[in-house]
Amino acid sequence: MGAEHAHDVAMLNIVLLNDHPMVLKALEVPLTEAGHRVLADVSPIDWDAVVRFKPQVIVAGISRSREAAGRPIASPAEDVIGYRALMDLRQYPAITAVPIVIVGMGIVESELPVPTHYDLFLYFPDDMETFVPRLEEVTHTIKRRRLISGYRCPNPGCGSRLTYTREREHDLFCPKCGSAVAVLDDDHAIWRGPRGQQEAARMGELRVDPPAVSLHEPAASEDPHR
């Protein structure tokens, strides 16, 4: 699955987050052999480095703690190793819009805490034979589905076209600079810059093309929060 595979699929920037070094290595090796660039990290996560890496997909590992062995998960924060990283992701608008793949160890998909935002769940080690192609497939599928909005980025000097995201608090996202826009109503919004700064914004001033539908009533075929 090495060099030959790399010619068939465009190289991706992939971030691996896992608190088990052996599992981290087991995930990293096939990805690099497939020609992808990988940034691997364990807790505490250096989120600034993650943002600078400009990931196109994030692979987050979670596992059941020893205390939760043999019993249902009662408290995600205490019983699920890696849960905090999933929650911390939501604080970084520059990376919340990229696909998230969860790799579970000792925890199955039905046990995932609610709410958990992700695009693909894989179980370690059972799903590792198809890990790379399934990750590539979901990444490129979501990229094709990402809807380009009729609004421009409010970040001075950027002005790139915003895209819709799946996050209610970050309705619009700028793939170029990492800014996010939380829509309050059809004319008012809050803009959050890549450095965390927040300012009020007017949707009318950001409009490039008239939107096909209201931001709060998307057409069935154009759900901005898929």
Handedness of CA 29, 34, 39, 43 (dihedral sign): negative
Instruction: Give the predicted TM-score (pTM) of the model.
Output: 0.67
Q: Note whether 8 and 34 are within 8 A (CB).
A: no
Percentage of the chain with pLDDT > 90?
40
Q: Note whether 148 and 161 are within 8 A (CB).
A: yes
Secondary structure of residue 124 in the 3-state scheme: coil
pLDDT in tens, 7-59: 456 899 999 999 888 899 999 999 999 999 999 998 888 988 998 898 999 99
Structural domains present in the chain: 3-144 (3.40.50.2300), 147-206 (no CATH)
pLDDT in tens, 140-185: 877 766 677 888 899 988 888 888 876 555 588 887 788 889 889 8
- Extract the tokens encoding 188: 């008012």
CA–CA separation, 207 and 151 (whole Å): 4
